[in-house]
Structure 1
Amino acid sequence: MTPDQRPAGAFSDPDLLRRVASALALIPVAIAVAWLGGWPFALFWLVAAIAVLFEWNRLVHADAPPVLFAGEIAALVAAVVLIRYFLNPGFGLIALGIGTGFALAFSPAGVSRWAIGGLLYAAAVVAGPVILRDDAAYGFVAILWLFAVVWGTDVGAYFAGRTIGGPKLWPRLSPKKTWAGFAGGTLIGALLGCAIVGIAGLPVGPGLVVVTLAIAALSQAGDLLESAIKRRFEAKDAGGLIPGHGGVMDRLDGFLVAALAAALIGLARGGFANPAAGILIW
């Protein structure tokens, strides 16, 4: 999640040190699991997706029966197993379709659309990274690129917004975010992402630059989407598991949108066998 962006000169965020400490603890773990790939990587993101699903359900319908949560978890697990076993995201959609029917059947009255939304939201957390990483040739580089884009966007937006200030991006949804933060985050995220690709020895041409800028911008759109959901349910954070960041859902809001968009572009260009090549090589 892109941190709050206050007016210029306001660097007295009491959560900043906690954010930094949490990031320093989580980043090496995320990179190590990405390097391992395979089932360790898939299980890591499956656990994250289940945590997001739990926070979502608690946020939008706290009175949901336990059988709903259990059925949604089963759908996520089945989707990951099918995607990895068959190397085809289409099989994962079958499991999610069954999970959607389960959500319709067991959701409390009036919240079925939110239950379905939560299942799809959580599925995006695990599907995008797993699809990209399972590209044997370029999967690890694609994940490092994605991390650099999203984390760079977070940091760039934070400091550009606080240093420059200026007009608000979307005051009704997120009153502390600014256009300066959006622009700074997008540029820094794209710069770091392209740097990772260059360090890996791959060409950095106009196509890669444009798609990296787009993914950086989309990561901030994911932040705004979660802000809209929390505002709808009058919540400040989705959870409190990660000090300085809130919940897992708060930490991954921008990442899941960026990862899903990157995976879809990669699939469109590289097919099921080479989605990472499809997003990185232009």
Structure 2
Amino acid sequence: MSNLQLRIISGLVLASVVLALTWVGGLPFRLLAVAISAAVFYEWTRMTRPAHSRVMWPRVMWLVPEACMAVLLVALGFGVAAVDFLLLALAATVIVAAIGFLRGSGLWDATGIAYASLSGFALAFLRGADHAGLLAILFLFAVVWTTDTLAYFVGRAVGGPKLAPSISPGKTWSGAIGGTVAGVAAGIVVSVLAGTGNQLLPGLAALLLSVVSQIGDLFESWVKRRHGCKDSSQLIPGHGGVMDRVDGLVVAALALYVIGSLAASPDNPAQGLFGG
């Protein structure tokens, strides 16, 4: 089996599982969010920790980030209130940052705690268990996946100046613009199908998510380049790691969560997006 065939098959399997859990919502989708957070943290520490770090640091100190992340995963799985989870995530990040400062290892573990925990948190609380949550996640998927796909094809077809050659040499301005236009169009289509009357706000939200998702993609590329990694891991056959697939999605999910929570509530942000 060629790498392209493996990539297509694994991609279809993953998409089917994710969409099925999205449709079900509730606990199954929340557990998916927990799994994404756990995988992101594993891959983050795999990339950013020096190979000899566990020899140099006292055992109890390198276990603290894992223990903090485990607490956050349990809290997310049990569905604690949004504000309580955010306070836990803040406390865990501060604790791990303090340990990183004391052992002179920098803030990579603390950043990983924040990045991984907020990734799963935003997805879980956006979906929730109601119809508005389903529409919010489908809106997110449509914008981010369309942006990513069309940015690739437009960039290859049109070419032109590089977007960020020192971070991701393959990305072009033409691809970024083409992906953004397509992402906004996809978001508006979902919004129209959902019965939203005024398309101005969904269009603006789609524009923001499209741009933010590409920034998230560049951020992960920078982290990998900074640490000399080609892929975040080999967890997904033909695709690399989980972070390689969700880098733009989770950052866009957090942005959409913030928009929704400002319009409604931190525990049910989708009501502020598609609750009308």
Give TM-score, length-normalised by structure 1. 0.86
Q: Which runs of structure 2 are paired with 1:63-74 in the superposition (5 Å)?
A: 63-64=53-54, 67-74=63-70
Q: Percent identity?
A: 39
What aligned pairs does 1:98-247 form with structure 2 within 5 A after superposition? 98-104=91-97, 106-107=99-100, 109-134=103-128, 136-247=130-241
Report how many residues are paired.
266
Q: Does 1:80 align with 2:73?
A: no
Pairs within 5 Å for 1:241-280: 241-280=235-274
Structure 1 237/204 Cα, relative in aligned 2: closer, same or farther at 3 Å?
A: farther
SS at match of 2:233: coil
Q: Note the C-alpha offset of 1:228.
A: 1.0
> What corresponds to 1:8 in structure 2?
none
Measured against aligned partners, the alpha-carbon deviations of 1:240-260 in whole angstroms (never above 9, x if no partner) come to 111332111111110111000
Deviation at 1:112, TM superposition (A): 4.1
Q: In structure 2, what is the Cα distance between the partners aligned to 1:273 and 1:126?
A: 14
- Gaps (5+ residues) in structure 2? none
How far apart are the structure 1 equivalents of 2:238 and 2:256? Answer: 27
Once the two structures are TM-superposed, the CA of residue 100 in structure 1 deviates from its matched residue by: 2.1
Structure of higher RCO (CA pairs closer than 8 Å, 6+ residues apart): 1
Q: Tell me the distance in 2 between the aligned counterparts of 1:18 and 1:151.
A: 19
Q: Give the equivalent residue in structure 2 for 1:36.
A: 24
The correspondence for 1:55, drawn from 43, 50, 53, is: 43
CA distance in 2 between counterparts of 1:125 and 1:273 reads 16
Residues 152 and 192 in structure 1, CA contact (< 8 A), matched pair in contact too: yes
Match of 2:33 among 26, 35, 45: 45
Where 1:236 maps in the other structure, the secondary structure is coil
Name stretches of at least 5 consecutive residues in structure 1 with no aligned partner: 1-13
Q: 1:94 aligns with which of 83, 87, 101?
A: 87
